[in-house]
Structure 1
Amino acid sequence: MILATFRTVALVTAVSLSPSIWALEALTDRGLSEVTGQAFINIQDDSYSSGSGQWSGEYEFTTVSLGMELETVFNIDELRVGQFERTAYEDGTVPVTDDDRNIIYENGEALVYDADIMIDNFALGRVDNYNDAANAEYAPFKAQNPYIELAYKVENGERRVAGVRFGFERAQGDLSGDLIALTGKIEGEIRGDAGLVYSQNCPGAGLFNCIALSLAQGTEIYTQVDLLDASTGNGAEDLNTTYLKRASWFGVPNGRNFDSDESGLVASLIPLLTVADDCEVTGTPGCFRTRIYQSIYIGDRDASFEEGSASGVFVSVQTEAVPWEDLSGVPGTDRILTERGAYMNIARYQSGTETKYPLYLTLEEATNGTARVATCVGQLKGC
C-alpha cells in the first residue's frame, strides 16, 4: 500500500545533552544534579470503546514516542500511500477532472486516482541560496517528539492490527511537492483585501455587488479552504462523508462565505456578497488544483517554533475504520474518524486560547498558487 522512491536524504537531529554525556564521562553527584531530561523512548498504551457505527467496539493503542527534536531536509521522488481500487463517489472518493472541472471517464466509468496520497517530488525543509553551493543554507523542517502509533481492534477476545500512524507532537516548516491526490483533512485559511475580488470581477458581478465591493476595498476578508470535489464544488459535508478521498482540488466549498473582523455596514455585507457556488465566489474562481501549491508552510512562518508550530500533524494507514485520538488540542475535539486506506491530517490546532490553521494563504496565493522553494543544492527539485 505504500510506495516511496528516495533520491537524496539530508537529515539532522538535535538532542539536548551535556558535553559529559556526549563524551560518556562519569558524572559527579553535582554534575548529575544539573542534568535534566526525559526518556528518549516512551511507550504508552491506551484504549477506546465509545465509538458508534463502523467505529464502534473496543480499540487498543500503543504509542512509541521519541523524546527528541528533529530538524530535517529530505526529498522523495514519488510518494504513494494507500494504493488500491476505489470507485468514484463511494465513501467520499472523488473523480479525476480536467482543468475545466469536467469528469474524466475511462471505459464508461469515472476515473479515480490510483492511490489515496500521491505526491511527486515530495520534500520537507528548503535550501536557501540553492544556486550558490558555497553559500547554500539549509532551512530544515522542524518537529518535536515524533511518534509511531499502532491501533488494534479487539473482537471476541482476539486483537488484530487495524492501523498505524506516524506523526509529530509539533511541526513547522516547508512542505513541497506536486500534490496529485490527497485524502484526509487539509485545512487552511486565506486572507486578503476585498479589493482583489472587486478588481477581478467588476463590472461583471452586478451593479449592487460592485458598488459594495468597491466600498469594501481596504477591508480584510478571510475564509477556510479545504479539499473539495471540483466537478461540483462540494466539500465533505455536502457529500455526506467524514472526509474526501483522492481529491486533487482545494478551495472554498459550496455555501461557504468570506467574513471580516472589521466593523461597519460594508464589512457586514461581506458574508452576503461572497457565498461560494459552483467553484465561484462573486465571479472569482474558488476552486484550484492542488498542484498549483508547489510549497506550503506548515505552522506560522513569522513565529518561533515554540509559538508557531502546528500540532496534530500525522499520516496514517488503516485496514479498517480507526478512531485516532485528536492531538490538535482544539476544544471539543475527541477523535479523528478514519476509514480503510491512507489518511493525511493537516488540520486546525489550538495555540494558547487561539485556534489556528496549519496553512495560511493570501488571496493572491490561493488564486495563483505558490512557487516551490528550493529543496536541493543546485536546483529546485529532483536532487
Structure 2
Amino acid sequence: MLGSRSRDDTTHTGSRSIDAMISEILANADIQINGRRPWDLHLHHPDTLSRFAAQRSLGLGESYMDGWWDCDAIDEFITRILRAGADGISQPRWMVAVQLAGYALRNRQSLRRSRQVAEKHYDLDNHLFQLMLDPTMAYSCGYWKDAATLHEAQQAKLDLICRKLELEPGMTLLDIGCGWGSLVEHATRHYGVRAHGVTVSSEQADLARERCKELPVEIMLKDYRTVTGHYDRVVSVGMFEHVGRRNYHTFMKTAANLLKDRGLMLLHTIGNNLSSAAHDAWIDKYIFPNGELPSIKQIARAAEPFYVVEDIQNFGPDYAKTLKAWDANFQANWDQLKDRYDDRFFRMWHYYLNVCAGGFRARHIQLWQWVFSKPGQRSRTYHAPR
C-alpha cells in the first residue's frame, strides 16, 4: 500500500509540476488562468494544462474543440503567447524533427496528393464560405489601407493586384489557384482581359463558372503542373501555401514557362519569418493538410533562375483584420449553418480563424505580394502602386 501511494503521489506531484510550468509560461505572456480579461483562459477540465504540455499545438486546439477551455479573445491569447516567445508551447522540438524527417522521405504536396486540401477544406461547403466571405468570395487577405469594410478591403486587394500587373484590354491572364473566381471576374469586368482560372476544388470550380458565365473566363479543374499555354500575365493568390518547399522550384519554372517574355507575374502568399519545413500540427490535421509557409529566402531562391524581382509588399497585419471580419460573419450566420454542422465544428472553425489572426497580429507570419518579370525583358523602371 505504501508503494502504491508513493506512485500515486509522484504522478500527482508530476501533474502539479507540469501545470505549474504551463501556468508560468502563460503568466510570462500576461495570461491568467480564470482571469477577467478577454485574453485570459477559463479552464473547464482539470487536465487541460497537462494536455497542453503533452500535445502542444494539437492538444491546445483539440482541447478547445472538446470544450475543455474558453477564452473571449483567442486571437489576443495567441498574440501574447507569440510575442512573449512562448510559442514552444505549441510546437515541441521532437515534433519538428519528425516533420523534417517526413519531408525528407516524401513529397507531401505531390501531384497525387494535391487534391487532399480541396477535399478537406475548399470542397467543404460553398454555402459556408458564401456566408463567411464578402460578395467577391475572395478567400485571401484584404487590403485595408483605405477600406472601412471587408467588402471594400477585398475590392481594394483585387484592384491592387490588377494595377500591379498593369492589365490592359485584350491581355490574357492566368490565375493559378483561382478559388471561386473573384480575381478573374474583377479583371475581366474592369480591365477587359480574357482569363483562365485553375483550381483543384470541384466546388470552387462549379461556383466560379456560374459567377463568370457571362464573362470571357474559363475555369479549369486541374493542378497547376498540368497547365499549358502562354499568357501575358500570371497571378497566384493564396495558393502558394499549398505548394511545399520540395515544389517551389517546379512552381516557379512552370509559371515562367506559361508567362510570355514581356509579361509580369504576381505572387500573393502567406509567409514565415524563418525558413522551415515545420508546420502546425492542429492546422495540418483539421484545416489545411500538407500546407507549408515559405520564407522570403525560400521564395527568392526558387525564383532566382527565372525572374527579376520587381517589387515586394508586406501587409501582414491586414490579415488579422480580414480573419476577424470572417469570424464575425461566421458567428453572425451560424443559425443558417448549425443544421449542417455541430458545436464541435463551430468551435474548430472559430478557433482556426482566431489562431491565425493572432499569428498575423504578433507578426509571427506575414502576407507578401511579389511582382516578377523575366530577365532582360523590361527596360523601364517598375513603379508598384500602393
TM over 0.5: no
Shorter-chain TM-score tier: under 0.3
Answer 1 or 2: which has greater strand percent.
1
What TM-score do you get using the length of structure 2 for normalisation?
0.24
What TM-score do you get using the length of structure 1 for normalisation?
0.24
